Chains A and B, each alone.
Chain A
Amino acid sequence: MLYSSLIFILYFFPITVGVYYLIRFSQRLQNVWLLIASLLFYAWGGPLHVIFLLAFIAINYGMGITIDRLQKKEAPVKPALAAACTLNLIPLFIFNYLSPLAKGAGPLLGLNTAAVSSIVAPLGIALITLHSISYLVDIYRQDVKMDKDPVHFALYIAFFPLLIGGPILQYADVVHQIARRNATWEDFSQGVCRFVIGLGKKVLIADAMALIADHIFNLSAMSGSLTSVPASLALVGLIAFALQIYHGLSGYTDMALGLGRIFGFHYRENFNYPYAALSATDFWTRWYTSLTSWFNNYVMAPLAIRNSSNDRMVRNTFIMWLLIGLLFGCEWTFLIWGIWNFAFLIFERVIELENINIPLIPRRIYALVFMLMGWIFFRTGDLYQLSVFVGNLLGRNGNGFFSDMALMFIREYWVVFLAGIVFSTPAVPKLEALLIGKQNAWSKTCSAVYPLLVAALLLFVVIFLIRSSYDPFLASSLL
């Protein structure tokens, strides 16, 4: 079940919220209800996966108690923590890496790997793993007192608003909110607006951009004797992907933060207009910050404790970005993407870029080249596609520059491109600061229009969702 599906919006969401507020006399009951809803949400994607999730929760809960007891007995804890983290990483390895490895290695070794190749990863496996490791490490570090309520822990792992696109939580940040929180009307109204805005970003911008990016990257993968992808078309595909990934991920974050807020949870922001960054370093302080924050806290920090020399810092940064790359899959392109980020971050640190006085436009161009090239590594499925796409983009495949199809995509989707670009910049918060919150008639008018704008956005979302799943013959079967 996706947040951007009608079954979620029309049935799951109102029932979950309705019951949650009906039982607001008991926080414990509310948590149990949210856990039940989360398990149902999870089961909807694959009923058997819920067994995996419950087992995962039970094992980690048990390991948390073991680590806590060992701490109290002042017994050696590190071996238990290492074993627990390894145990957590095994499912991630099986689901994320074993299947692609088997697909690749099977034919070479003459093995029938059909059974392994067909394994479908449970929803949010990477997020669940990171959340669990955070839980175990935070208890080990005694950053937070262990909450022994299994419902609280299960809710931390399985809470449905976070399962699809994050943000990635750190146990110490949320454990108190699970145990004690108060959802106010202000939370509810802010959460609802945030959810609708996220839904709009995902359905109206990211999905449309995904359509264009997918076609162009697929055509590029096929290019050669069958088709040709001129440079301008490749560029349109790349821009579409950049807009898709930003609005998709930030849309999911908005939905997660909005849903969390409706239930009284306050999570940290995850995006801060990353395409307005002026360097790679700046970009990574704005893009999916919960990811880098998690890795800094649970990978970099332990490594840095041992040795903080510059050489070690470079090595540690390299390890961290290699792991971040691997988190997304076992393709070489993800590794290259990790190394690409590492190289730029180290380069900027070595030359101390922020201290160099460079005009704004060259800095923006530099940052954009860094981001867009990075997305090529991220999007192309393998090294062959990567080389073909880069060749197409640079006009090195005899593919020329001009493309009717590129113009056609822009002509058909110019509104979405425009909205995608405008909403990637801080133009809206600047406008909001300018127009809203002041005690004048203009500000009041803009504020009064606000609910209408959000309502119109929701209407557009519903219209587009219905169009994408519309089956006129299913409708006529009602007759």
Chain B
Amino acid sequence: MNFYRRARSAFAILFITVLVAFSILNFTTRLPLFRTKLSNLSANSGLNDMIGTVNYIANGSVLGEEELIYSHSLLQVLLGKEESGGFEIIKGNNGELSYGNFYPVFTTHAEEYAFRMRQLRDYESSKGSHVIFINAIDLFDRTHSSYAADLPVNDQNTISDAMLYYLQSYGIDYLDSRKVLKESSLPPEQYRYNTDIHWTVEASFEVFASLIEKLSDEYDLDLDPDSYYTNPDNYTQSLFPQSYVGILGQRASVPFSGMDNFLFIEPDFQTQFTLDYIRDNVEYTVTGDFNKALINHSYWDNGYLFASYLSGQTPWKRITNELSQTGPRFLFICDSFAMPMISFLAPIASEIHVICPLAGQPIDLEQYVAEYDFDFVFVEYYPGNMTEEAFDFFIR
């Protein structure tokens, strides 16, 4: 028994030594984060807010967490699991990650959002403008995705279906990206990244080309008469093999998620833009060609390549095409999915305004559309983002 006691004592010594050392190290490295987040609390914040912030940082950020998350991920793989984080993320047979959801989505507020779209359309029509809705694809593709029996995959296509149904009933035009991609030459496994919620850059290029075609066929706005801008041959395509880990992959970590190829697409022709954008209440201006003005290379360092297009989702941005003052003027009300597509549209528009209501700093959209005149207003959302905040305009 003495030996057993000694063994227990050995653990106690190990425990307290490691714990104290780790706690001190952890606290000193997290101190700047504590300081920043606590100083960001407003004067009106109470003790509850402070406790909440401290809890959030202390529980959500720990020294060496990436290595520990990596270990967790490795453990999931060793156990042959197809879910991570208590079914937060599930893995398909082809390695595609998706959110898990045990409760099928049968109800949405699509009718209300479609009504607000109608109000927007009616207002814009009175100014001679047009409104088109673009639905981004869901992670779950009913014709292609394949999951083990009864894994609770979050199929949000019902949300898109409901939205498009009500838009159609109100006579609002839309572009169903699911249909566009099915009719494209792109193989289904390239519609989306396995590790991300986003569609691929090549998929968004297909949707961009389809949008140009739609504007030409249905609105008599022929922006690309020679099919120059919509021809992929006129773009540089750089492949980064097995180098991309998206949002889902970052949460589940690489052993579980794997990595994606990333195809970066940029124009091969001359471009010159000014990009103004707001992030964290600070306004930035960048001038240069497509690669310099519209691509934020700091995201390349972090590995989150998709967000490098237009710096991802920010509350407001404006792209001014310095080479064409005669092209149309667009407004995008959208989420992060639209950023590559908007980048590809930029060379053929004179000006594009982009508002992302989900980026945290709401802008009064009714006032904004009253202030500016646009040729087209595009509203783009991923079905999971079709929420009250996303359609925060013309509320009845």
Contacts and interface: CB of A to CB of B under 8 A. Distances in A.
Interface of A: 1, 5-7, 9-11, 13-14, 17-18, 44, 46-47, 185-186, 188-190, 192-193, 196, 208, 211, 215, 218-219, 222, 226-227, 403-405, 407-408, 412, 415, 436-437, 443-444, 447-448, 450-451, 454-455, 458, 462-472, 474-479
Nearest to B21: A14
B246 to A, nearest CB: 11
A7 B59 contact: yes
Nearest to B84: A467
Residue of B11, B55, B148 with highest tally of chain A CB at under 10 A = B11
Interface string B41-83: 0000001100100111111111001101101100100010111
Contacts of B86: 208, 211, 468
Given A215-B102, A448-B7, A472 B251 contact: yes
Contacts of B87: 211, 215
A193 B383 CA distance: 48
B14 interface: yes
B85 interface: yes
Nearest to B250: A472
Contacts of A468: 85-86
A14 B20 CA distance: 6
Contacts of B9: 185, 189
B60 A471 contact: yes
Given A192-B11, A415-B79, A451-B7, A474 B56 contact: yes
A7 B69 CA distance: 18
A466 B103 CA distance: 26
A478 B61 contact: yes
Contacts of A196: 15
A214 B33 CA distance: 35
Contact of B60 (A46, A226, A447, A470): A470
A69 B53 CA distance: 48
Nearest to B86: A211
A479 B62 contact: no
19 contacts: A6-B58, A7-B55, A7-B59, A44-B55, A185-B9, A192-B11, A196-B15, A215-B87, A215-B102, A219-B103, A412-B81, A415-B79, A447-B4, A451-B8, A463-B68, A466-B62, A470-B65, A471-B61, A475-B61
A437 B51 contact: no
Contact of A408 (B33, B60, B150): B150
B354 to A, nearest CB: 21
Nearest to A450: B7
- B interface bracket (residues with beta carbon within 8 Å of A): 35 or more
Q: Classify the interface of chain A: helix, strand, loop or mixed.
A: helix
A437 B2 CA distance: 8
A408 B151 contact: yes
B66 A455 contact: no
Interface string B1-41: 10111111111101110011011001100101100000000
A412 B83 contact: yes
B306 to A, nearest CB: 14
Contact of A189 (B3, B8, B26, B151): B8
Given A14-B20, A226-B106, A475-B66, A450 B58 contact: no
Nearest to B74: A463
The 8 closest A-B pairs by CB, nearest first: A451-B11, A189-B12, A404-B150, A7-B58, A472-B250, A405-B150, A404-B149, A469-B59
A10 B5 contact: no
Contacts of A185: 9, 12
A436 B6 CA distance: 12
Nearest to A438: B1
Residue of B1, B58, B82, B87 with highest tally of chain A CB at under 10 A = B58
B104 interface: yes
Contacts of A471: 60-61
Nearest to B11: A451
B56 A470 contact: no
A448 B6 CA distance: 9
B302 A466 contact: no
A222 B103 contact: yes
A86 to B, nearest CB: 32
Contact of A450 (B1, B8, B66, B75): B8
B14 A437 contact: no
B59 to A, nearest CB: 4
Contacts of B106: 226
Contact of A464 (B16, B20, B56, B72): B72
B197 to A, nearest CB: 13
A11 B58 contact: yes
Residue of A14, A215, A408, A467 with highest tally of chain B CB at under 10 A = A467
Residue of A218, A448, A451 with highest tally of chain B CB at under 10 A = A451
Contacts of B4: 436-437, 443, 447, 450
Nearest to A196: B15
A192 B15 contact: yes
Contacts of B61: 471, 474-475, 478
A478 B33 contact: yes
B314 to A, nearest CB: 15
B166 to A, nearest CB: 22
Interface string B80-110: 0111111100000000000000111010000
Contact of B57 (A13, A14, A444, A474): A474
B23 A408 contact: no
A472 B68 CA distance: 12
Nearest to B81: A412
Contacts of B12: 185, 188-189, 192-193
Contacts of A412: 81-83
B54 A7 contact: yes
Given A226-B106, A443-B3, A469-B60, A450 B69 contact: no
Contacts of B55: 1, 5, 7, 44
A213 B4 CA distance: 38
B55 to A, nearest CB: 6
B51 A466 contact: no
B47 to A, nearest CB: 5
Nearest to A460: B75
B11 A454 contact: yes
Contacts of A476: 302
A455 B15 contact: yes
A467 B85 contact: yes
A403 B7 CA distance: 46
B36 to A, nearest CB: 8
Given A405-B152, A408-B151, A447-B4, 5 more contacts: A5-B55, A189-B12, A467-B69, A469-B60, A471-B61
B14 A455 contact: yes
Contact of A14 (B19, B54, B62, B84): B19
A450 B61 CA distance: 30
Contacts of A6: 58-59, 62
A219 to B, nearest CB: 6
Contacts of B102: 215, 218-219
Residue of A9, A188, A189 with highest tally of chain B CB at under 10 A = A189
A418 B253 CA distance: 26
Given A192-B11, A404-B150, A466 B57 contact: no
Contacts of A189: 5, 8-9, 11-12
A176 to B, nearest CB: 26
B15 A458 contact: yes
Contacts of A475: 60-61, 65-66
Contacts of A46: 48
A465 B71 CA distance: 12
Contacts of B251: 470, 472
B75 A226 contact: no
A10 B7 CA distance: 24
Nearest to B148: A408
A474 B57 CA distance: 8
A463 B64 CA distance: 10
